[in-house]
Each structure stands twice: as structure tokens, then as C-alpha cells.
Amino acid sequence: MPLMIEITGLNKAFGATRVLHDVNLSVEAGEVVVIIGASGSGKSTLIRCINGLERFGSGTILVDGLSLAPIDMGRKKTSAQLKNIRREVGMVFQQFNLFAHKTVLQNVMLAPMIVRNWDWDKAETTARRLLERVGLADHIKKYPSQLSGGQQQRVAIARSLAMEPRVMLFDEPTSALDPEMVGEVLEVMRGLAREGMTMVIVTHEMGFAREAADRVIYIDHGRILEIGTPAEIFDNPKQERTKAFLSRVLKH
Amino acid sequence: MLADLTSWSPQLFAGLYLTVGMTFGGMAIALVLGLLLALGRINPSRWVSAPVAVFVELIRGSPLLLQLFYIYYVLPGFGVRLTPIAAGLLGLGINYGAYLSEVFRAGIAAVGSGQREAAESLGMSGGQTMYYIVLPQAWRIVIPPIGNYFISLFKDTALVSTISIAELMFQGQLIASDTFQYMRIYSAVFVIYVAISIPASLGVRWLERYFSRSGQGR
């Protein structure tokens, strides 16, 4: 399988605090990688580096052959290279971040029209198809504030998919949801995984990680401590810290 | 007394006409300038944001009356000769533009960073993010304060009477110095101002309620 994401020697600090230490990670096309770790371990920061929402100090990130280096994230302007990468990388946020002043349909249609220059018909057809797929065909005229959290997150997934990304990043997509809505969002994500979408997911849903991930990564204090199949990580962790973390989170 | 008022009314209404014109004209300039100044002030480059910040603070730190005099009496010394109306519109527009830039800046800041990140992660440029995502939401936030500045500008246009613009206050002064009927004429002028500004502020209050109720933004 060709590599979709290749992260080499990634370092990042917030002031004097180093949040990522020399991170190396490769993700193959079609692979589902789940990142786990305690809060503050740097896992969200790591995936936010992949589409340039966080600047990093040193290292390189290759996404589908496009390379992103610290120089591409100058203070002044979003570089062309970063824009190219962002077109290919979809992102789903913990807080959904739907555009509050736009309807569900408009949320999904906007970026393809202004970033990919699709005409109205193509954007609308695609948006309707994707909203149908995430089970929200009946809600396209509503505003985000009229939807439940689970519905909003499904719209956010459809909005990202409308850009036809090669990779999808999920930053704790179910952490802000009421428990009864977690399932509907995970179900959409499982569907994507089955279809072969390359996905990098930060989550606390260990059940989902075990069942949907090809590989699980444990991050601790900004370092990747352990990488393995779900069975290797969950049933037979090698590192003491991984064991301690898992026993903390799996108790609940 | 009524006969007096009727005989003055053509003059007063000519003045009111100018007052309203100066208000709308000044506001139009202020809105455009205010938005530009706000965007300049949040520009990531210090070479843009620092001069803009200095300009805004200089304007906010000095009296409008002084600014009007500066434009009308001092600029001709540098070869910039403006008609009273042009100088008045410019002075009001610049002064209110500086204040509105702070309103716009607060409005833009009030749109959550998540909205920006979502737009950028979809590949939108900084300009597209501002135009399609941030400004439309900031707009709803800034409309009520802009309404209040509008009313305040309506009253501040009285200051342009000092650079010989024959607006409502100026007309009142003219009639008063002709007739010495200070009580009546200034009361009439007073009534005209509040007859407009009080309903207008009720309207702004209604707008405030409307936007806080239908506000979908966070």
C-alpha cells in the first residue's frame, strides 16, 4: 500500500513546554489509525499539525506526496502548499464547528463551490447525497442550532466529505456528545472505514478503537510510546505506561 | 408663537435635511473606513497593524470638534482645500470610523475560533474565511452597537455648524440671532432632535432584541 501520511521528526513546543517529541508516523492509504492517550498528551496537537492548524517547530509532514515543513506556515499567509494539503485532508472537530449562520445544506455546499469551484448543481447533488448517507436528508433546511449534537457532528462529517478528501482526521469526534448520540456518529465513521477511507482518529472510545482500527497508537507526554494492532495494544501492551493508561480508562 | 414656528419651519427643515444627509453620509464613510481599519488592525503583519492602531488611538483620543477644525482650517495650509460639506463628512466619517473599527474588531473576535478553523481546514483562504464565514456572523453581533453610534452621530452633526454648514443647529442659531427668541427657537430645535433620536433608539433596542433572539451564532 502507498503511504498517505508520513510524519518525520516532528517537534513542537508551546513556549518552553515541548508538546511533541520527535514524532515519526506513517499511515498507509486506506488505513484506519486510532490515537489514544491521556488528555494533554499531545494527540490532538499531532493531528492538528497534519493539516497545518498547528504550527510545528521542526520535522516534515508528507500528505499524499505534498510536503509540509515549518516554512510553509509562516505567520503572514497560508501558503499555497498548505491550501493544497487542506483540500485533500478533511477534519472533524470535537465541537463540530458547523457554520452557525448557514443551513445544513449550505454548510456542506459552500467549500466545494468556493474552493473547488464546483457549480451549484454539482455541489447540491453531492451535498444531498452525502446528507442522505449520514441520515439527515430531512434536515437540510435547518440551522445547526436546531440540531442535536449527534446530528451536527454527522453534518460536519458530510461537510468534510463533500471536498472529496483523501484523508479524514477526527479530533475527539464524540467527546462533546451525550452518550446516546455517540453511536450514530461512530456508525458513520465505521461506514467510512469499510469503504477504505484513510482515517486518523483521536478518541477515548476504546471499544470503537478495538473494532475499527487497523493500528492503535499510544501517545504519552508528546512521544509515541507504542504502536500496534488493536489486539497487541489492548490485550498485550508492552509498555508499563500503556498498561497503566488502559487500566485507568477501561475500568469505567 | 405657532405663527413664529411656522415662519421658521422652512429654514429649520432645510437644516434638518442637511443634518440627516450629514448623518447618513458620515455613517457610510465610517462603516467602510471602520471595517478597513478593523481588518488592518487584526492583520498579522505589524507593519500594517501598528500604524492602524496608532491612527485609531489618535482619532479616539482627540475631540471631534478639533478634528473638524483640523480638516477645514489646517489642511488648506497643505494645499488640501475642501468644501464645508466635504470637510464635515470626512471629519465625521473618520471620527466614527475609528470608533466603529473597535466595534467591528470586537465583533470579529466574538466569532469563535472554531468557525475559522473549520473554514481553513476545508481549504478556504484567509480572505474567503473572512468573507463567507466570519464577517456574516460578526455583522449580526455589531448591528446593535452600530445603531447606537448612528444615533450618536445624528446628534454630533451639530458640531459641523462650526465649520459653516447650515444644518439644523446652525439654522437655529441664525434665527435666534435674528430674533432673540432663544427660548422658543432652541426649544423647537430640541424637539426636532429628540423627535428623531428617541424613536430611533427604540428601534435600535428592538434590533438588539431581534438579533439576540434569532442569533444562531456562538
Average pLDDT over residues B121-130: 93
Residue contact B122–A76, C-beta within 8 A: no
Instruction: Name chain B contacts of A53, Cβ cutoff 8 Å.
Output: 117, 120-121
Q: DSSP state, B77?
A: G
pTM of the model: 0.85
What is residue B212's predicted lDDT score, i.e. its pLDDT? 74
For cell 456542506, what's the residue?
A: A108
Burial call B28-58: b when 16+ CB within 10 Å, e when fewer: ebbbebbbebbbbbbeeeeeeeeebeebbee
Q: Is B125 an interface residue toward A (CB < 8 Å)?
A: yes
Average pLDDT over residues B95-104: 97
Q: Does position A95 have pLDDT exceeding 70, yes or no?
A: yes
Residue contact B118–A87, C-beta within 8 A: no
For cell 437655529, what's the residue?
A: B172
Q: Does position B57 have pLDDT exceeding 80, yes or no?
A: yes
Q: How far is B30 from chain A (nearest CA, A)?
A: 25
A55 vs A48: CA distance, rounded Å: 9
Instruction: Name chain B contacts of A144, Cβ cutoff 8 Å.
Output: 216
Tell me the percentage of chain A whose pLDDT exceeds 70: 96
Show which residues on chain A lie within 8 Å of chain B, measured between beta carbons.
Answer: 51, 53, 75-78, 83, 86-87, 89-91, 93, 95, 97-101, 110-111, 114-116, 143-145, 156, 159-160, 163
Q: Does position A35 have pLDDT exceeding 50, yes or no?
A: yes
Closest-CA residue of chain A to B135: A101
A128: left (phi over 0), alpha (psi -120 to 50) or beta: alpha
A35 vs A200: CA distance, rounded Å: 7
Tell me the percentage of chain B whose pLDDT exceeds 70: 96
Q: Which of B122, B132, B216 sits opposite A100 (nearest CB)?
A: B216
Residue contact B128–A115, C-beta within 8 A: yes
What is residue A117's predicted lDDT score, i.e. its pLDDT? 95
The candidate with the shortest Cα–Cα distance to A130, out of A114, A154, A111, is: A154
State the pLDDT confidence band at B216, using cuts at 50, 70 and 90.
Answer: very low
Residue contact A83–B125, C-beta within 8 A: yes
Q: How far is B146 from chain A (nearest CA, A)?
A: 20
State the pLDDT confidence band at A74, using cuts at 50, 70 and 90.
Answer: low
What is residue A149's predicted lDDT score, i.e. its pLDDT? 95
Q: Does position A72 have pLDDT exceeding 70, yes or no?
A: no
A205-219 pLDDT tens trace: 999 999 999 999 999
Instruction: Name chain B contacts of A87, Cβ cutoff 8 Å.
Output: 123
State the pLDDT confidence band at B213, using cuts at 50, 70 and 90.
Answer: low
Let me know: does A62 contact A6? Beta carbons within 8 Å: yes
What's the Cα-to-Cα distance from A99 to each of A69, A117, A159, A232, B131, rounded to whole Å? 29, 19, 10, 40, 13
- Where are the extended beta strands (E) located within chain B? none
Let me know: does A39 contact A202? Beta carbons within 8 Å: no
Average pLDDT over residues B133-141: 93
Residue at B130: amino acid letter: M
Q: Does position B196 have pLDDT exceeding 80, yes or no?
A: yes
Q: Is B84 an interface residue toward A (CB < 8 Å)?
A: no
Q: How far is B98 from chain A (nearest CA, A)?
A: 24
A140-150 pLDDT tens trace: 999 999 999 99
Q: Which three cell numbers stand for residue B181?
A: 427668541
What is residue A75's predicted lDDT score, i.e. its pLDDT? 52
Q: Is B134 an interface residue toward A (CB < 8 Å)?
A: no
Residue contact B124–A143, C-beta within 8 A: no
What is residue B36's predicted lDDT score, i.e. its pLDDT? 96
Q: Is B113 an interface residue toward A (CB < 8 Å)?
A: no
What is residue A77's predicted lDDT score, i.e. its pLDDT? 54
Average pLDDT over residues B184-211: 92
What is residue A79's predicted lDDT score, i.e. its pLDDT? 76
Cα A233 from chain centroid (whole Å): 21
A4 vs A33: CA distance, rounded Å: 12
Identify the sign of the CA torsion A26, A41, A74, B116: positive
The interface predicted TM-score of the complex, written ipTM, equals 0.91
Cα B67 from chain centroid (whole Å): 14
Q: Which of A75, A87, A143 sits opposite B216 (nearest CB)?
A: A143
Residue contact A163–B133, C-beta within 8 A: no
Q: Is B127 an interface residue toward A (CB < 8 Å)?
A: no
Average pLDDT over residues A121-133: 96
State the pLDDT confidence band at B210, using cuts at 50, 70 and 90.
Answer: confident
Let me know: does A115 contact B132? Beta carbons within 8 Å: no
State the pLDDT confidence band at B209, using cuts at 50, 70 and 90.
Answer: confident
- Weakest mean pLDDT among A54-63, B114-123, B130-139: A54-63
Let me know: does B85 contact B21? Beta carbons within 8 Å: no
Q: How far is B97 from chain A (nearest CA, A)?
A: 26
What is residue B159's predicted lDDT score, i.e. its pLDDT? 96
Q: Is B214 an interface residue toward A (CB < 8 Å)?
A: no
Q: DSSP state, B158?
A: G
Instruction: Tell which B residues from 137 to 176 touch A, by Cβ distance under 8 Å.
Output: 137, 140
Provide, for chain A, the percentages of residues in helix, strand and coil under a 3-state DSSP scheme, each rounded to the nearest 5: 40, 25, 35
Q: Does position B64 have pLDDT exceeding 60, yes or no?
A: yes
B151-163 pLDDT tens trace: 999 999 999 999 9
Residue contact B218–A75, C-beta within 8 A: no
Residue contact B123–A115, C-beta within 8 A: yes
What is residue A15's predicted lDDT score, i.e. its pLDDT? 84
Average pLDDT over residues A179-204: 94
A40-61 pLDDT tens trace: 899 999 999 999 898 888 899 9
Q: How far is B121 from chain A (nearest CA, A)?
A: 6
Which of the given ranges, A185-189, B44-48, B208-212, has the highest pLDDT on average? Answer: A185-189
